[in-house]
Amino acid sequence: MDTTLLNSLKSSESSAPPAEKEAEQLAATLSGLCGSLVYPRSMAHARGALFFLGRQGSHKSLGIVSTDSTVGGGFQGKSQTINIDGHSVTSTLCETSAANAATLRAIFPFLVPRTLGLKKSAGCGDRLGLATPGHIRAIRRSSMAPILAQQSIRENTRTGRTPQQVMDDAMWGVFQEGWRDGFGADADHLKNTADIDSCAAPGFTFYTIDPSEHVDNEANTAPFDVLRAKIEATPWAELETGWTDTQSRFFNPIDLGEFNFKMDAGDLLRATAKYGRVVAHTVRMYRHLEAVMNGKSFELEMSVDESETVTTLAEHIYIANELKRLGVKWVSLAPRYVGDFEKGVDYIGDLSECENSFARHVAAAKTFGPYK
């Protein structure tokens, strides 16, 4: 087994993970050398060294074994020299700290989150930073792309974690499981530009803008005279348009593929009063995000799914058309659906109504996107 370990250190470039049997043998050897239980899937070769994650009790450490004593120099840890079959090998054990996580990412690109586009994806939402290995094991049996770093600012406040901790915890889970097929990182339910700044620094790639505080829920049932007053107060300068021009954009029937939809005057009046400020806020957030990312790839979701009132097809069309007109690019839009979705509950409401409503929203997404 020591010969196997020495042979594995000859690779100077990043290489594919060892086969399962070889990985188990190497993990057993490394466990004996460093005194930690080594996760077989975590082992990765680069720079003539073998990197791995080990555990002593509940404490996890990054391990580095190399015939070159300088390889672990960029990491914060304790090194010792081991003699294997007449060869001097340096073993370094490091804390799973933010600094070591950053150094490890620079070596292994698969530890850096990426954009996922229109792939089917699942937001895993590891709230405590402990569940990512289990999420990956589940995702391996599916065709879904995982979003492993995912937490809202509200949840960060409740759990006492920072966006950087969320990112690092997910990364160590990816490393432990040897997941190399890519993952997303969702800065969830962001409500202001300061939220964007705090999540851009750790490298989040997916940004969920939550403008629900700007939804005028009263407009859902308000009489026309009240709606007209709301239209007068709409932030037209931020929307870079006016009410007359807005009416002209929605005058003709809209081809949604399987059917046409004609928005009547009442539909547009209500949609604009209800979601005009939502569009304006989303545009502000998007433009700030563009500036902060400064050319780096990112994806946007606009989500009003936590607002009080259902998003109608007309309102969905209004939002999508106006965001597109104002130059916003997004991969996902979360309307407030009919019925209720709750944790641990599939659905509360009329399934037939939900299915029909969902199909109409999908038609709008295909027409104005495509987006999820």
**For residue 45, what are the CA distances in angstroms to 108, 168, 315?**
9, 20, 52
Q: Which of 186, 195, 301, 322 is catalytic?
A: 301
Q: Which of 169, 188, 210, 267 is catalytic?
A: 188
83 near 89, Cβ under 8 Å? Answer: yes
**301 catalytic per annotation:** yes
78 contacts: CB under 8 Å, gap ≥ 6: 92, 93, 94
For tokens 């005194």, name the residue. 35
CB 168 within 8 A of CB 223: no
Q: Pairing relation of β-strands 340-342 and 121-123?
A: unpaired
CA distance 207 to 202: 13
CA–CA distance, 160 with 370 (Å, rounded to integer): 37
Whole-number Å distance between alpha carbons of 233 and 236:
8
List the catalytic residues: 188, 301
